[in-house]
Amino acid sequence: MIKPYNEDQPKVEQIRKMFNRIAPNYDRLNHIISLGMDVSWRKKALRKVAPFGPRKILDVATGTGDLAIDMCQTIPGIEKIIGIDISDEMLRLGNRKIRELELEHIIELEKQDCTSTSFEDNTFDAVTTAFGLRNFENIPLALKELYRVLKPGSPLMILELSEPRNSFVKCLYSFYANHFIPFTGNIISHDKEAYTYLPKSIADVPQREKLAGLLKEAGFDDPYYQSFEPGTCTVYMAIK
């Protein structure tokens, strides 16, 4: 199992520690490292959720709330978005953004672990997560929990970084991921381990067909995926 730090703590605790450390610079680094594509990736993914007309949405690993905020602009008719995360600092910054945008009446952030939430069965019209799956300590358990809290017929949307399949693009990506990302991350966040972990976590997370298989095992129907050019980000959709 890939972890951010060379420590004996469980992965979930190391992830909490990592995000508490990098939270102040997280949004800026996300934008820089993705070459500005993170915004369009989130909006493309949310367009796949919009046709379901969800009223109540759970956003998992919500971080500073970027995806939840984007939902308010992309999906009409939303009544409530609950964002959950394990990092106090990410949630603190997220709540500040939500207050500044006057979205408190729609978005509510809570500190919860996605493998064991406090929600009742069949609660949400949609569940989403962006750039968080690779940080889960137990992905199959998390998928089963997300299945449990979804209403029947409702979608799960996962947006996650991925490795390109084209050999030439993958070669360029490998150099970028293993050199530019740690270097830039260290300069801005002063946590080189966090941004050395990032490309390793992308390589380690189940991708494309493998993740679609895990979604089926968790009980979801009709899982499919679409990679966005140049293949460094993939959206997954599945129905309960």
With respect to residue 234, please indicate whether it lies within any of the assigned structural domains: yes
233 annotated as a binding-site residue? no
Q: Give the residue numbers spanning the domain of 108.
A: 11-239
With respect to residue 113, please indicate whether it lies within any of the assigned structural domains: yes
Mean pLDDT of 121-127: 99
CB within 8 Å of 38: residues ≥ 6 apart: 30, 31, 66, 131
With respect to residue 115, please indicate whether it lies within any of the assigned structural domains: yes
pLDDT for residue 7? 84
Which of the four pLDDT bands, split at 50, 70 and 90, describes residue 9?
Answer: very high
CATH code for the domain in which residue 232 is found = 3.40.50.150
pTM over 0.85: yes
CB within 8 Å of 68: residues ≥ 6 apart: 57, 59, 62, 81, 83, 94, 98, 107, 109
With respect to residue 55, please indicate whether it lies within any of the assigned structural domains: yes
With respect to residue 5, please indicate whether it lies within any of the assigned structural domains: no
Strand ranges for the chain from DSSP E: 56-60, 80-85, 107-111, 126-130, 155-161, 221-228, 233-239
Which of the four pLDDT bands, split at 50, 70 and 90, describes residue 157?
Answer: very high
Rounded CA-CA distance 103/142 in Å is 28
Number of domains the chain is built from? 1
Rounded CA-CA distance 52/170 in Å is 34
Other C-beta atoms closer than 10 Å to the C-beta of 53 total 12
What's the angle, vertex CA 214, arms to CA 27 and CA 204, rounded to 5? Answer: 50
Rounded CA-CA distance 218/224 in Å is 14
With respect to residue 2, please indicate whether it lies within any of the assigned structural domains: no
pLDDT for residue 208? 97
In our burial notation (b when 16+ CB lie closer than 10 A, e otherwise), range 192-230 reads: ebbbbbbbebbeebbbbeebbebbeebebeebebebbee
With respect to residue 83, please indicate whether it lies within any of the assigned structural domains: yes
Given a cut of 90, is residue 229 above it in pLDDT? no
What's the pLDDT tens digit per position in 32-64?
999 999 999 999 999 999 999 999 999 999 999
pLDDT for residue 6? 86
What's the pLDDT tens digit per position in 55-96?
999 999 999 999 999 999 999 999 999 999 999 999 999 999
With respect to residue 3, please indicate whether it lies within any of the assigned structural domains: no
Whole-number average pLDDT of the chain:
96
221 annotated as a binding-site residue? no
Rounded CA-CA distance 185/69 in Å is 24
pLDDT for residue 117? 98
